[in-house]
Structure 1
C-alpha cells in the first residue's frame, strides 16, 4: 500500500526548502521517516515537496540543527476544508437548516387528489383517509403503503368497485371506479329449465313455464324440469321459463387429518425497531436489543424518502417483532375425525352456490395410518339445480 494513500483525509501541505544543496536536507527527511513526495527542483538553492501534516513537527525539529530555511505554501486536505467551512458558520448553518427544511417538507403529504367518483363518494374516501392518518401535513413514512390503503378503502367504502393509489412526491393520486347498478335486462328468448345434476326434488318455485316434475321425483342431468312450451297444440307458445328447483344432491369428499397438530398464536405483545436504509444497508437508530421472546414473528415496513420529487437512496424502516406462542395438540381419533368432517365441509362450501345448504354427512371409509386419519365422506346438499336450455326452432 502506498504511504501517501488517504493523505487527503489527514491533510498535507507543500513546503519549500532553501539553502546550499537542498537535496541533502530532503535525503535527511527520508532517513528520519518523514514521508515526502512530488519533489521538484526549483533552482540551484531551493526545492519543493509535499508533506503530511502529522510530519511537520518532525520536519521543524530536523531543521533546527541545520542551516536551511523552510516556508509553507498551499494547504490541501479535509482538515483545511473543514476549517474553511467553519469560518463561515452562519452560511453553513443556514445551508444545513434549508436542507433539513426541504427534506422535511419533501416527506410530508401536501395534497390528496381524488378522481373518477361522485362528490358523495369522494367525501367518504376523504373521511376514511383521515382515519388512516392520510391528511395534509402527515409524515409519509408513518403511513401505510398505497396497496394497503387500497384494500382498506375497498372494504370500508362498499360503493367502490376499484380504486388505485399512486404516490408522486408529496401528492397522493386516487383514481376510483364506482359500482354501477345494472338495470335488469330483457329476460331473453324462450328456454326450458333442465337439471344440471342428479338429485331428489324437495321444493319448487316456478314463476313462468310448465312444471314437468314434482316434489320427491328423482331427476338426472339434462331432464326437463320446467318447460318453456305452454298451452295446447293449437295455441302453444314458447316462453322464457323461470323458476328454482331445489333438490338434494350428493358429493363424495376425501380428506386426511393429522392427529398431532402444532399451531402458532400471536399474543399481542410487540417491540418496534427503527432503522435507516442506505443503498440496501440498514443502520439501526432505535431498538437495538432483541426482545426476549421464545418465538417471534417479524414484519418490516419500508418507506422511501424524497428530496423534492426525487426518490433518494434513503429509506425509513420500521420492524415489528411480535411475540408468538406455539401450541401442540394431541387429538384423539374421534377429534381428528370431527376436524376432518369440518374441513371437508369448508372445502365443499367453496365450490357450492351461495344459497346452497349442507344437510348432513356420512363416513364411508375411515383409516388411521402414519399419524393421520383418512376419511372418505358422503355429503348431502340442498341446492338449486336448474340450468337454462334455449328452445330452438323445431323443439
Structure 2
C-alpha cells in the first residue's frame, strides 16, 4: 500500500485504524454458497472496481472488530471506544455527490450521523443530545464529518482505502466467489509482501454486477479470526430519496449548534499547510489529538504509521496500562509501548503518540523520523 489518489486520512470512527470499522467481536458476516461466475484475473477485477460508479445505495451493515484492545479504565462506555469495538449493526444510505446517513442501532438506542451536503447532524438517543453542524458553501466534501462517519460504516468506502493504495508491496489475487447480501461476488485478496506489519491479508467481496465491494475482512498475521469484518446483510443500489438525509431532532432533544469555518486558499495564522497523504488503515485511532492537531503519516505501504503531536489522551486513565507497559529508548527519546495482536502504540515522553498496524520496532524507527 503506497500512494493514494485522494485524501482519506481520517476515517471516523473505525474504521477507525476507520478506522473505520466498528464491529462485532468474532461474529462473522454470513455468506451463502459460492456462486458459479466467469473467471476473472486480479487485474481485471481491480480495473472494474476502480472504474465502478453508483449514484446511490442503501442497506444494512453488520460490523465486527477485535483488535485485541485491552479495557482502558476511565474510557469504558465512551462513545469513541464503543464505536471501534463490540458488535454493531447500522443502516446506511449514500447518494452522490455529498449525501450520507448512518444509523447505528444499539440495544434500545440509536446513534444517527447524517449530512445532506449543507448540514450535518450527530444524534445520540441515550443522551438525547444532538449536534447540528452547518457546512459552508464550497467546503470540500471529504471534510464533512457526517459524510465521513457515514463512510466509516460503508464497506465500499473502507475497501477503497486499501484498493486506492495497492502497489508492488501488495500481492493481489482472486481466491474464489461467494454470495453476500444475496448478491454474487468475487473474492479479492490483498496480501502484504512484508513482515513489517501485523496484517496478514485483507479480503474483499466485490459485487459481480456493480463492481463495488460488499464486504471487507482484515486478518491478523498471527492468525485466528478476522480482526475487522464489515459487510452488507442487505443492499440496494437504488438512489435513496433526498428526505433520507434530513434530520429532525425528537422533542426534548438538546441541540448544540456549530459552524465549520469556510475554507481558504491559504492556511490561517499558525497553521501549516497539510499535504495529501496515504489513507489511515482501518483500526488506527484517528482523532486522539487536541483540536487543531492533525495526524501525519510516516513510512510507506503497510508499515506506515500515524503520528499525533500534543495528543490529549487521558493520562490518568492510561496509567494502569502504561505502568506495566514496556519502556523503549533510542536516539528519538524514550516512551512506553502498548501492543495487541493488531495495533501497536508508542507513547513518547515528548508528547507524541505513534500508532500503526505494525510491530513495535517499526514505531521506534518512525519516532526517529516523526515531527516533534
TM-score (norm 2): 0.17
* Structure with more helix by fraction: 1
The structure, 1 or 2, with the larger RCO (C-alpha pairs under 8 Å, 6+ apart) is 2
Larger radius of gyration: 1
